[in-house]
Amino acid sequence: MIFPTYQTEAELKLSGIENIAGCDEVGAGPLAGPVVAAVCILEDGDYETRSEDKWYFRVRDSKTVPEAERETLAAEIKSHSKAYGIGEATVEEIDALNILNARLLAMQRAVVDMLSKIPDAKDIYVLVDGKFIIPDLSVNNIKQKALVSGDQKVLSIAAASIIAKVYRDAIMKDLDIKYPKYGFSKHKGYGTAAHIKAIKEFGATKVHRKSFLKNII
Distance CA 152, CA 164 (A): 15
Q: Which stretches of the chain drop beneath a pLDDT of 70?
A: 138-140
Q: Residue 49: its pLDDT value, please?
A: 85
Distance CA 161, CA 108 (A): 15
pTM for this model (two decimals): 0.96
Distance CA 24, CA 74 (A): 14
Domain coordinates in residue numbering, the chain: 7-212
Digit-coded pLDDT (tens) for 156-200: 999 999 999 999 999 999 999 999 999 999 999 999 999 999 999
155-178 and 67-79 helices, crossing angle to 10°:
120
Which CATH code for domain 7-212? 3.30.420.10
Q: Residue 174: its pLDDT value, please?
A: 98
